[in-house]
Amino acid sequence: MIKRVESIFQKNRVFIFLVIFRWVSLAPVLITLNEPHTLLSPLMILALALLVNSIVSIFNRQLNKIVIEHPIFLSADLFFSGFILTVSGGSHSPYYLYILSPLLAGAFFFQVRGALAMSLVFTPIYFFANTFNSQTPSDNIVLATQTAGLWLIPILFAYPSTLIKSINRTTEELSAAHRQLEIIHDLTVLLQSAPDLLSVQERVLGAVTTDLGFSKAVVALVDPAREELGGWLVYPAQESFPRIKALPLRSENGEVFKALLNRSTFSTNGETLVQNSELNNWLNQNKWFVLPLYLREHPVGILLVEESGLTNERESTLMTVANQAALALGTTILCIDRARSLAVETERNRIARDIHDTVAQSLFGIVYSLDACITMLPQQAVDVKNELIELRSLASGAHDEVRRSIFDLWPSALTIELFMADLTNYINSCCRPRSFSIIFNNNGDFNSLPSGLRRTIYRMAQEALANSARHSGVNLARLSLNVTEDQVLLNISDEGRGFEPTTALSRSVNREHFGLHGIQERARAVGGDCEIISRPEAGARIMIHLPIHERHQHA
């Protein structure tokens, strides 16, 4: 019902309604054509009214526009109505409804203010018309009633016009808000499906230009790790847009950087936006509205929107979209930064484990052998020479291991035979001059495993056997390797003096030895688990379970 009333009282339809009213208001005149009038004949007065109505009907669109833009033109119709009233009998005139047309027009187009102004101007005209027809005495009751009608009827008609205007304004505001929500919703859906940061940038720029209707937009992003602003991107894409390196996030690098650091918006006016002549010249070809993008207190980037057609309403919508864009871009940047930090931390841990499992073990063997050499000097010089030769070979092996850790190289042809032989040689080199034996039990196809997984198994076995050789107090350990279609089971055990696992794993107790922790971390890194079973004077067993899946291909 409200929509129907609203459609009737829209300004582009009000004038048609008033034209119809002018024609219908002449109906009482047809009944009184035979009655005498003071000045002009009834047919002549009617002819004038019909002529004016015809002009208004034919040129209603043009007159409608003129009245809305220039309300003063309503006064012409007002004085014409006063003329008709004067020559047709004043308060006795049958044109009373007809003379209300300009008053109703003022009420409809300009609400209560228009109604009051038209009534105020027409009231003295009405009394003049009655005075001019003094030979026909006016009934005071009729005079008072008609005068009241000149005020009450326009005001009454002004009320629905005011109401509809308020409804129209509210509808426009709701439509704008609804449009904002639609744009934000569409942008959110698009951003959630964006596979990378570049796609997020492109979709933000697309929302600003395609959805909001701005002709051009530019976005640049902040690298939080380096504290730089770069990654400039324009939409629609233009070949003339320069590609520049990221610049430090400092205010001396231009007004754009100042706005970002100060978290302030501004409109450009030919100033130095960026301390890069090529990009600055390109940007100064247009006027831009500059918006800093922030995610809470963190700067995310800068958005520049070509300023033509920017209104307060569109600026409000643009700010809302910019906030959503900042959230999407900031979240993506933070995720990338965290992933990068995690990758760095993971790589540091990997290098630390590799150095511990290779260099540290080799150096331990060198130190152990040097201690033995010191005790044998000078009585056993020949034996010392032989030991030093062995130490040279061990040092050469340590050098090779360091290179292997740095470049992350591992021979792809690590077979089960090389696996057992390398472990035996490694443990013997670490434990000289005493010997240490390993009993191997192998089931399944070790050689079919991914090279990365074979390397991981070797490192864990290396560390577990080294611990047993050093600390168990016995000369024998057992290694059981069982490979199935979907998992690997690795068990290392000895019957030595044993230990308390909780104490051994506590960094606060043993900060220099990370071997057991390294085994557990390696197992967890490939989705497996490691169980350590031991107690003092009861031996020790390390049981490792590793799943086999595709990601081991790149371990």
**What DSSP letter does each residue of 462-517 carry, written as one string?**
HHHHHHHHHHSSSSEEEEEEEE-SSEEEEEEEE-S----HHHHH-TTT-TT--HHH
Kind of pairing between the strands at 529-534 and 228-235 = unpaired
Together in a domain, 139 and 215:
no
Domain assignment present for 382: no
Q: Which of 340, 362, 377 is the last residue of a domain?
A: 340
28 by Cβ neighbours in 10 Å (0-12 / 13-18 / 19+) ranks as middle
Number of H helices and number of E strands within the chain?
19, 11
Domain assignment present for 156: yes
Q: Which residue has the higher pLDDT, 362 or 319?
A: 319
Together in a domain, 444 and 310:
no
Task: Calculate the alpha carbon distances from 282 to 208, 240, 248, 277, 450 in Å.
Answer: 20, 8, 20, 8, 53
Q: What is the pLDDT of residue 487?
A: 93
39 falls in which pLDDT band (50, 70, 90)? Answer: low
For 479-506, what is the mean pLDDT? Answer: 90
Task: Calculate the alpha carbon distances from 1 to 8, 167, 173 in Å.
Answer: 11, 13, 20
Domain assignment present for 392: no
Domain total of the chain: 3
Q: Phi, psi at residue 400, to the nearest 5°?
A: -65, -40
Q: Three-state SS for 243?
A: coil
Which helix H or strand E contains 204, and what residues bound it? Answer: helix 197-206
Count of CB atoms situated within 10 Å of the CB of 194: 17
Quote the tokens at residue 391. Answer: 């130490």
Half-sphere exposure of 383 (CA within 13 A, CB side): 13
Q: Supply the DSSP string of 53-70, one letter for each residue.
A: HHHHHHTHHHHHHHHHH-
CATH of the domain at 499: 3.30.565.10
Together in a domain, 75 and 205:
no
Which of 27-41, 55-69, 72-86 is predicted with the least confidence, judged by mean pLDDT? 27-41
For 224-239, what is the mean pLDDT? Answer: 86
Together in a domain, 165 and 79:
yes
Per 3-state DSSP, the chain is made up of helix, strand and coil in percentages (nearest 5) of 65, 15, 25
Together in a domain, 211 and 166:
no
368 by Cβ neighbours in 10 Å (0-12 / 13-18 / 19+) ranks as middle
Domain assignment present for 67: yes
Which own/partner pairs from 410-416 qualify as long-range (CB within 8 Å, at least 24 positions apart)? Answer: 410/451, 410/455, 412/451, 414/451, 414/454, 414/455, 414/458, 415/446, 415/447, 416/442, 416/446, 416/447, 416/481
Q: What is the pLDDT of residue 450?
A: 87
Give yes or no for residue 340 having a pLDDT over 70.
no
Q: What's the one-letter identity of residue 338?
A: R
Q: Is the pTM of this model over 0.75?
A: no
Residue 18 belongs to what domain range?
A: 2-170
CATH of the domain at 255: 3.30.450.40
Together in a domain, 14 and 150:
yes
For 341-347, what is the mean pLDDT? Answer: 62
For 537-550, what is the mean pLDDT? Answer: 87
Together in a domain, 151 and 28:
yes
Q: What is the pLDDT of residue 1?
A: 42
Domain assignment present for 345: no
- By residue count, the chain amounts to 555
Q: What is the pLDDT of residue 488?
A: 95
Half-sphere exposure of 548 (CA within 13 A, CB side): 16
Domain assignment present for 81: yes
Together in a domain, 33 and 126:
yes
Instruction: Give me the chain's average pLDDT, please.
Output: 79
User: What does the pLDDT look like over 396-415, one tens digit per residue?
Assistant: 666 556 645 544 444 456 78
Q: Which of 340, 370, 389 is the last residue of a domain?
A: 340
- Contact yes or no for 277/267 (Cβ under 8 A): no
Together in a domain, 151 and 250:
no
Domain assignment present for 362: no
Together in a domain, 10 and 81:
yes
105 by Cβ neighbours in 10 Å (0-12 / 13-18 / 19+) ranks as buried
Q: Which of 294, 322, 340 is the last residue of a domain?
A: 340
Residue given tokens 């790790």 in the structure block:
225
Together in a domain, 11 and 153:
yes
Which helix H or strand E contains 215, and what residues bound it? Answer: none
Q: Supply the DSSP string of 313-375, one letter for each residue.
A: HHHHHHHHHHHHHHHHHHHHHHHHHHHHHHHHHHHHHHHHHHHIIIIIHHHHHHHHHHHHHHH
Together in a domain, 56 and 149:
yes
Domain assignment present for 177: no
